[in-house]
């Protein structure tokens, strides 16, 4: 349910119920964190396309006192809006936030990349996002491009190989390595021959990544026919 998105795995749900504040429906939960004497009373209300939270943290004996009940039950929105985009894709909004100059907005969007169930129809948006420039491009282990590449690769859609192949020659050196890592994730004889052709035509100025070399040599049967030609680059 909606409310469970705010609960950690070691929390205890003491109570849960559906609620209405005027014409807006929602869910209320009472949750106790492990090792805490305090309990959190939360009410989640969806108005328009935004989720609003009413919250208090108090001892269990006080959580339902008259003041708290009045706060939770008497709350009203001055304007009630329909949830007309609730089930629409939010992929473009999330990916746009990756380019935000606000570091908090960027970090929040990035943290959701591995959690969002992207669909095949959203792959073109992911492909486009992969070739954008981000503030953390110089980070070696935790950059946005690597996170995007991992999301795309895990979807196991062959269109990603063709996207990487088609954009390799025009890509920056940083992006060339990212695209190579994506291509090698689709092991096939024809694919490895395409990788060889691209590398010999225009090898990246940066050192080939460990991930790419490892994945390439893991498929010995496929790598053997091209290995001699690529050996000077490895």
Please give the average per-residue pLDDT across 217-232, as a whole number.
79
pLDDT tens string 103-143: 999 999 999 998 889 999 999 999 999 999 998 777 666 78
Q: Which residues contact 6 (CB under 8 A, 6 or more apart)?
A: 29, 42, 44, 53
Q: Residue 1's pLDDT is what?
A: 44
Better pLDDT: 83 or 230:
83
Least confident segment among 21-30, 95-104, 153-162, 212-221: 212-221
Most distant CA pair in the chain, distance: 79
pLDDT tens string 51-78: 899 999 999 999 999 999 999 999 999 9
C-alpha–C-alpha distance, residues 27 and 118, integer Å: 26
Domain ranges of the chain: 2-74, 91-233
C-alpha–C-alpha distance, residues 164 and 184, integer Å: 10
C-alpha–C-alpha distance, residues 52 and 123, integer Å: 30
DSSP H or E run through 15:
strand 12-21
In this structure, how many other beta carbons lie within 10 angstroms of the beta carbon of residue 209?
A: 17
Tokens 């992006």 identify what position?
Answer: 175
Q: Which residues contact 185 (CB under 8 A, 6 or more apart)?
A: 153, 161, 215
Q: Residue 141's pLDDT is what?
A: 67
* β-strand partners of 120: none
Q: Residue 3's pLDDT is what?
A: 47
Q: Angle 189-201/159-167 helices, nearest 10 degrees?
A: 10
Q: Which of 134, 211, 154, 219 is CA-nearest to residue 180?
A: 211
C-alpha–C-alpha distance, residues 214 and 181, integer Å: 10
| Burial (CB count <10 Å: 0-12, 13-18, 19+), residue 212 | buried
pLDDT confidence band for 204 (50 / 70 / 90): confident
């Amino acid at each position: 349910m909606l409310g469970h998105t705010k609960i950690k795995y070691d929390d205890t749900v003491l109570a849960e119920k559906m609620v209405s504040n005027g014409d807006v429906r929602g869910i209320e939960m009472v949750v106790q964190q492990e090792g805490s004497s305090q309990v959190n009373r939360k009410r989640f209300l969806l108005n328009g396309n935004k989720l609003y939270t009413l919250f208090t943290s108090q001892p269990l004996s006080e959580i339902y006192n008259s003041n708290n009940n009045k706060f939770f039950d008497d709350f009203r929105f001055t304007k009630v809006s329909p949830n007309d985009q609730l089930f629409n894709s939010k992929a473009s909004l999330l990916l746009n936030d990756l380019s935000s100059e606000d570091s908090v907005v960027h970090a929040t969007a990035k943290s959701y990349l591995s959690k969002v169930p992207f669909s095949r129809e959203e792959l073109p948006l992911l492909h486009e996002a992969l070739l954008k420039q981000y503030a953390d491009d110089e980070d070696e282990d935790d950059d946005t491009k690597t996170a995007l590449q991992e999301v795309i690769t895990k979807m196991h859609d062959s269109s990603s190989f063709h996207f990487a192949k088609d954009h390799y020659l025009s890509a920056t050196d940083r992006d060339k390595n990212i695209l190579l890592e994506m291509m090698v994730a689709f092991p096939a004889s024809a694919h490895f021959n395409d990788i060889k052709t691209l590398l010999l035509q225009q090898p990246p100025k940066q050192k080939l990544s460990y991930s790419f070399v490892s994945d390439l040599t893991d498929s010995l049967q496929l790598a053997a026919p091209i290995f001699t030609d690529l050996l000077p680059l490895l």
